[in-house]
Structure formats: C-alpha cells, structure tokens
A = this chain, B = another copy of it.
C-alpha cells in the first residue's frame, strides 16, 4: 500500500524495519476521492496529513479575480501535506486532479514519531525540504524560462519523479490533466499551453493526448528545458 512511499524514502536514506513499521502504523484510514475535489481547504485546522497512494493531487492558491496558481503536483508515494503537521493549517488548498486513493496519517501519530524516532523525523523533515526544492525550481521556471522551456521542464520533472515510483518508463507516463490545469501550473493561459504543446509535438519531443504524456525524444526535451535533475536529490545515498 505505502510501498511507493517507502521506496522513495529509501532512495535517499535507510529506513530500518522498526521505522518502516512506525510509518505503517501512522496510517489510520484509506479514502477514495473523485477528480477535481478540494480535500484540504486553505486555513482549515488540520488533524492529519495525507499520503497519496494513487492519482495526482495538487497544491494551489486562488486569487481574487478567479485566477489560480498550482504550486506543486503530487504523485503517488508523496505526502501531500506533511508540512501541515508543523503548520497546523495551510496557506493553500489541496485538490485531486484525478480520482485518488489517499491514506490519512493523524498528526498525533506523527507527533509520536517525532518524540520517539529522531532519524525518521529527519527523514520526514527531508521530505518536506525536497518539496521546497521543487518549489524553487518552479520559481525559476515561472520567473525566467519562456513558455516552451517551462513546459518541457515540467514534463521532464514528472518523468523523473514518476520513474522513481515505477509509474513512468522511457515511453512516457499517464498524466490525465486538462490543458487548463497544465496552464495553472505553468503560469500561462490554456490557449498558449495549447500552442506550446503543438510546438513540442511538431518538434517530435512529446505528445500530450488522451491523458498521457508520450515522450518521443527525451534527450531533446531535456535539452530545450535545460533540465538538470539535481534538485530532485536522487543520489543522496551514494554521496
């Protein structure tokens, strides 16, 4: 059930049997959600964190004029709001992008982990810090990359992150978002995203169609994006 989460943690650090058991027993409940449902509302008091088991989830902020910025996409194996454990309530909302299965980890159980397992606490802390790394890379994309590179960069990021949890291979991955949702990640309009996708397709790099990203030339995609996966910290145990 939480295998994806564990393998992601173990990519970066050792998790012994006792710690694994501690993580497992953190989970109180498994819940299914339909697509496009806000599961955590900005500002509401939190009593548990949500671990994504299946589906895609995002963090987003709304603006008063109806615009929305998605600030992070979560893939299976991610804690979507582990940071909520220390923050107590969130500055943003969390919604499902696709139908999802999620596990709930009550904060009192996470609290016990922080009291009893310092190493595991650091692992959890690391995991929220890794989210921040991704936030920073998105800031770079939003601030400095133009639409084509920015879009290519996002597809590269997801390719790598999904591969870690066995949900992508060399040909691509399932990613059933609308172009409007993609635009909300990229700080663009859906019209422009559509044009960028056509360009990427015409250049033979990717196809975004039928809820799937088909990567036809990853090397070229990485090249236009100037994608450097260092910010995803995939090699931490080797160092």
Interface residues of A (CB under 8 A from B): 43, 45, 59, 61, 63-64, 67-69, 71-72, 83, 86-89, 91-92, 114-115, 118, 121-122, 125-126, 128-133, 135-140, 142-145, 186-187, 226, 230-231, 233, 236, 239
Contacts and interface: CB of A to CB of B under 8 A. Distances in A.
A87 B129 contact: yes
A55 B130 CA distance: 27
Contacts of A86: 122, 125-126, 129
B132 A187 contact: no
Contact of A135 (B135, B144, B239): B135
Given A87-B129, A143-B186, 6 more contacts: A61-B136, A88-B239, A89-B239, A91-B136, A128-B129, A142-B143
Given A63-B226, A128-B129, A187 B136 contact: no
A61 B236 contact: no
Residue of A133, A138, A140 most packed against chain B (CB within 10 A): A140
Total copies of the chain: 2
A139 B140 contact: no
A71 B139 CA distance: 6
Contacts of A114: 118, 121-122
Residue of A121, A132, A138 most packed against chain B (CB within 10 A): A132
